[in-house]
Structure 1
């Protein structure tokens, strides 16, 4: 798909940017980050205005987030059927759920760019768990601004090394996603163990019960 999408960027420019970021935010297998990096090269060459590239990518991402939120809120039955057939997506959904349940709005923000593989699933979880729409929208839009500006600017700065930058960004994003999930699980486990110890301390002993 990547080999097909990137050449189309020279013809369809902002339209393709909008479509790719929108679809990526509803968990379609679209290399949106790579497309934004490539668009940065076109910006550097003067073929696409920087403001146009940012506006197209950002509007597609924000609308995609809203679509994902809607799917999670009103399409839970369809989503459950889809996840049952796609174990990898189900695992990402579970990781996103841990993040959203623990951090709420900030979890949405960081899932846009710091752990971007979880982003689409964070949208579904936010909708399914009825995270407040305004909270989701504000935090999500802020995160998308960081994501879009980061990748387009990197593409502009490293025009001759797009492939290397894309591979590095993908590796770092995957690593950060793994580290974030590990940290969340460790935090949850520590909290659960602490609550269990407190419960044992508060529980009256058998010897102390009245006869």
Structure 2
């Protein structure tokens, strides 16, 4: 199901462009199950092929991610029952929220920064936890923007590089698994992107 969703979102990207990418990154920062990193890498591939603008996709992805962080932070601070519902539901969400709360109390802004890109599965839950813990808004925002900038540039850059130079880039990505395990999908993404780009160009030509 996840793969099918990813394929559907990738197919929509060249037609809806930057606004669509902004919506995807925003939703991902609210703990909704959308493959935002995959879509960002795809956006980098389309930018490398000239179908999308680098400036547009980077700006849109960053704007959406920061807006999502802010929304999650204020939901946590507002006393919304979203946290209680997650805790009561149990399972993966409750576990992730507990880890995020602990990390936020221990590391503060550093936790916010690292969970934008290095520990990204915890990112949305850190947003909620930071708001609930009454972390200072300025500190949260600074760490959010810095971390999301790393995430956006990294994944869009990987998508662009994988599309242009797969044979050169893939061995380097494989050796970097200690930095980001999720980079292992870049090789498969590049192959899928080449097929998608070809199909898109055939449509435009037709």
TM-score band (shorter)? 0.7 to 0.9
Structure 2 CA distance for partners of 1:45 and 1:173, relative to 1, 3 Å: closer
Q: Among residues 125, 132, 150, which one is paired with 2:129 in the alignment?
A: 125
Deviation, structure 1 residue 2: 0.9
Taking the TM superposition and a 5 Å limit, the aligned residue runs for 1:173-192 are: 173=182
Two-structure CA RMSD over aligned residues (Å): 2.1
Deviation, structure 1 residue 82: 3.4
Q: Among residues 134, 146, 149, which one is paired with 1:145 in the alignment?
A: 149
Taking the TM superposition and a 5 Å limit, the aligned residue runs for 1:1-211 are: 1-159=5-163, 172-173=181-182
Structure 1 CA distance for aligned equivalents of residues 113 and 76 of structure 2:
17
Structure 1 regions of 5+ residues with no counterpart? 175-211
Structure 2 CA distance for aligned equivalents of residues 105 and 67 of structure 1:
17
Structure 2 CA distance for partners of 1:97 and 1:82, relative to 1, 3 Å: closer
Q: How many residues align?
A: 170
Q: Which entry has the higher C-alpha Rg, 1 or 2? A: 1
Structure 1 CA distance for aligned equivalents of residues 71 and 18 of structure 2:
20
- The secondary structure found in structure 2 opposite 1:131 is coil
Q: Is the 8 A contact 1:15 1:56 kept in 2?
A: yes
Deviation, structure 1 residue 78: 3.1
Structure 1 CA distance for aligned equivalents of residues 55 and 84 of structure 2:
39
TM-score by length of 1: 0.75
Structure 2 regions of 5+ residues with no counterpart? 184-206
Match in the other structure for 1:207:
none
Structure 1 CA distance for aligned equivalents of residues 93 and 128 of structure 2:
11
Q: Is the 8 A contact 1:22 1:60 kept in 2?
A: yes
- The secondary structure found in structure 2 opposite 1:26 is coil
- The secondary structure found in structure 2 opposite 1:158 is helix
